[in-house]
Amino acid sequence: MSRELELLLFLLALRASGEVVAGSAEAAAAAAAWPGLQVGFYHAKCPVAEDVVLGEMRMILEEDPTLAPSLLRMHYHDCFVQGCDGSIMLRSRSGKGERDATPNRSMRGYDAINRIKARLETVCSLTVSCADIIAMAARDAVYLSKGPWYDVETGRRDGDVSVAEYAENDLAPPDSNIVDVKTFFSVKSLNAKDIAVLFGCHSIGTSHCGAFQKRLYNFTGRMDQDPSLDAGYAAKLKKLCPPGHGHDHDHDGHGGAGGAAKVPMDPGSGFTFDLSYYRHVLATGGLFQSDGSLRDDPVTRGYVEKLANASSSSEYFADFAAAMVKMGRTDVLTGDLGAVRPTCDSLVD
């Protein structure tokens, strides 16, 4: 039996099992058509596209499970900078592309996307965009981390502009307060609930110390600790991250300086996509200041409290699917806009 047929049978079995996220009001709204995007965009042009992506993702994560959070993060960073157009994959000779921006210096997963693209090019040349591959890979990363399977709208085309400054300006740093976070997200038409839902991505992955060290040692510039951070949790973090340890303001990517400590964003459940992140945030204030800031807004706090006390992940999984579809529509290039690149990591200059 061919690998393509095996993957098709797997997807049919998955849908029949009921594991595919069904509904909520938000999911129903997300299901409405979006100009240029649709579920099954490649069914006629490349019917095995999603099967190939999932098959490659299975092998990629079997080889390195730590890539799951990185590939999920890549979709977020791609969409928030000039829209979901695959521009994060472009390389710059001058070191001025999105890859070179501070928030992306620890990004991993570029080789994984290139690998998936190369495989797709052997079966459907110049058909599946890098932007869509990133979106599908993010969905598969969640699913293969025991999270939900949800339908991904496809039909995006690739952009050809990649500027580090845009990434520096458009991505909320981990030490953001809730006002700043809401500002960054509102520009992308994402509301307070979307923030609370999408921050659940921090259920998987790790961070280097530099992304949260300020909370431990110099929160207000007076060599103090963030008073909202649970004292017991702070003490554990200080053991892992002594003063001056780690200089990379990044998370989830296992990158940065060699030997730097890697701290789970969701202790005890760092590779399982589940509700424990919300329990962790409610009880301790979370790893990042931006995590803890979810407790400072009535909408985001209410959602955190609800999920922290939930007995089932079904509502969250439906909300997450809807929020990911919504984010995946950000400033997309469709129709005659953009292009389908033959390779994802083309040089931009």
Contacts of 267 (CB under 8 A, 6+ apart): 280
Which one from 75, 77, 251, 254 is the annotated catalytic residue?
77
Q: What is 308-340 written as a DSSP string?
A: HT-S-SHHHHHHHHHHHHHHTTTT---TTSSB-
Q: Where residue 181 sits, what CATH number does that domain have?
A: 1.10.420.10
CB 284 within 8 Å of CB 230: yes
In this structure, are 244 and 134 located in the same domain? no
Q: Is residue 8 part of a domain?
A: yes
Whole-angstrom distance, CA of residue 231 vs CA of residue 79: 36
The per-residue pLDDT for 5 is 47
The per-residue pLDDT for 35 is 87
Contacts of 5 (CB under 8 A, 6+ apart): none
In this structure, are 179 and 158 located in the same domain? no
Q: 3-state DSSP call for residue 266?
A: coil
Please state the rounded mean pLDDT for residues 185-206. 98
Contacts of 280 (CB under 8 A, 6+ apart): 266, 267, 286
Asked whether residue 84 carries a pLDDT value surpassing 90, the answer given is yes
Please state the rounded mean pLDDT for residues 171-178. 96
Q: Backbone phi, then psi, for 7, in 5-degree steps?
A: -65, -40
Q: Backbone phi, then psi, for 193, in 5-degree steps?
A: -65, -40
In this structure, are 45 and 164 located in the same domain? yes
Q: What percentage of residues in the chain have a pLDDT greater than 90?
A: 84
In this structure, are 134 and 207 located in the same domain? no
Q: Is residue 268 part of a domain?
A: yes
Reported as a single tens digit per residue, the pLDDT across 121-161 is: 999 999 999 999 999 999 999 999 999 999 999 999 999 99
Helix (H) or strand (E) holding 38: strand 38-39
Q: Hey, what amino acid is at 24?
A: S
259 is in an annotated binding site: no
Q: 3-state DSSP call for residue 264?
A: strand
The per-residue pLDDT for 258 is 36
Q: Is residue 54 part of a domain?
A: yes
The per-residue pLDDT for 244 is 77
The per-residue pLDDT for 25 is 52
132 is in an annotated binding site: no
Please state the rounded mean pLDDT for residues 57-71. 98
Please state the rounded mean pLDDT for residues 44-58. 98
**Nearest CA-CA partner of 101 in 115, 109, 90, 112:** 90
Whole-angstrom distance, CA of residue 125 vs CA of residue 257: 38
- Domain of 7? 3-169
In this structure, are 7 and 92 located in the same domain? yes
297 is in an annotated binding site: no
Q: What beta strand segments (E) does 151-256 contain?
A: 153-154, 206-207
In this structure, are 219 and 148 located in the same domain? no
Asked whether residue 194 carries a pLDDT value surpassing 90, the answer given is yes
Six-digit token pair at 201? 């991505």
Q: What percentage of residues in the chain have a pLDDT greater than 70?
A: 86
Asked whether residue 319 carries a pLDDT value surpassing 90, the answer given is yes
Q: Hey, what amino acid is at 348?
A: V
Asked whether residue 232 carries a pLDDT value surpassing 70, the answer given is yes
- The whole-chain average pLDDT of the chain stands at 90
Counting beta carbons within 10 angstroms of the beta carbon of residue 187, is it exposed (0 to 12), middle (13 to 18) or buried (19 or more)? exposed
Q: Hey, what amino acid is at 329?
A: R
85 is in an annotated binding site: yes
Domain count, the chain: 2
291 is in an annotated binding site: no
Q: Is residue 343 part of a domain?
A: no
In this structure, are 7 and 154 located in the same domain? yes
Q: 3-state DSSP call for residue 40?
A: coil
| Structure confidence at residue 261 as a pLDDT band (50, 70, 90) | confident
Asked whether residue 10 carries a pLDDT value surpassing 70, the answer given is no
Q: Backbone phi, then psi, for 20, in 5-degree steps?
A: -70, 130
The per-residue pLDDT for 34 is 74
Asked whether residue 236 carries a pLDDT value surpassing 50, the answer given is yes
274 is in an annotated binding site: yes
Q: 3-state DSSP call for residue 251?
A: strand
98 is in an annotated binding site: yes
Please state the rounded mean pLDDT for residues 299-311. 98
In this structure, are 133 and 152 located in the same domain? yes
In this structure, are 286 and 184 located in the same domain? yes
CB 49 within 8 Å of CB 126: no
Least confident of 14-28, 44-58, 224-238, 329-343: 14-28
To the query of whether residue 254 is one of the catalytic residues in this protein, the response is no
Sign of CA dihedral 3, 5, 10, 11: positive
In this structure, are 229 and 244 located in the same domain? yes
Q: Is residue 349 part of a domain?
A: no
